[in-house]
Amino acid sequence: MLKEIGSVFSFLTIIPATNSNLETIAKHMYIFPIVGILIGLIIGSFALGISLFLDPLIVALLVVAGLAIITGIHHTDGLADFADGLMTKGSKEKKLKAMKDVSTGTAGIVSIVLYVVGLILALSLMDGYQLFTAILLSEILAKFAMVLQAALGNSAVTGSNSPFVQIMKDKKRLFLASAITLIPVIVLGGTVGAIAFAAIITITIFIVAISTKSFGGITGDVLGATNELARLSSIIVFASI
């Protein structure tokens, strides 16, 4: 299992791994929340340490930079493509073509700016252990959101996302992912964690619905966008309640 976790960790971050392939990663998509735990511990510990010395706004900026570095901005790029696709007028095919365009449109740029600003502001409202917990749990929830989306949605087109969507139709895998997510979220987050969990489920269902209507299903970019939006939503919940 450690080998599989390493492969999934490499897929979701910039950390390289040997002998990892898409089929193996898709087969073990249910352990995405475990990788969320690892990323959350790394970035959360970093945030907790520097929050003892630096201004909250500077801490928030460095945390966002840390997340960008460790994840390689893969999912942030998906958010931009998702926004470009949604804002494109016309048929599903035209919207899908806009998402695949290598150049980022106005909608994509605006979505990234709003995402980064929102994340920095929300993170700056917390410090110490609260900040650590919020980062840790938001990463777990963000990764679970992708798992849930793959289980609920259908592929808009045959591509890299297809194996994930097909495999996550196995309810046992979804149950395992849910258990992995709920245990730390409820134990560490309590009532607020439960609210964040409910919010993520609602957001994921909404994105599946709007993607199905706009694109005919979900794509890799939609999965990436869901990760980013789930992270931001979770952080806002923990900062607000």
Beta bridge partners of residue 155, listed in sequence order: 218
Domain boundaries, the chain: 2-240
Tens digit of pLDDT at every position of the chain (241 positions)? 677 788 888 888 888 766 667 788 888 899 999 999 999 999 999 999 999 999 999 999 999 999 999 988 777 888 999 999 989 888 888 888 888 877 788 899 999 999 999 999 999 999 999 999 999 999 999 999 999 999 999 998 887 788 889 999 989 999 999 999 999 999 999 999 999 999 999 999 999 999 999 999 999 899 999 999 999 999 999 999 8
Tens-place pLDDT, residues 180-234: 999 999 999 999 999 999 999 999 999 999 999 999 999 989 999 999 999 999 9
Beta bridge partners of residue 33, listed in sequence order: none
> Judging by beta carbons within 10 Å of its beta carbon (0-12, 13-18, 19+), is residue 187 exposed, middle or buried?
exposed
Q: Which amino acid is at 221?
A: D
Tens-place pLDDT, residues 70-81: 988 777 888 999
Q: Which amino acid is at 12?
A: L
pTM: 0.94
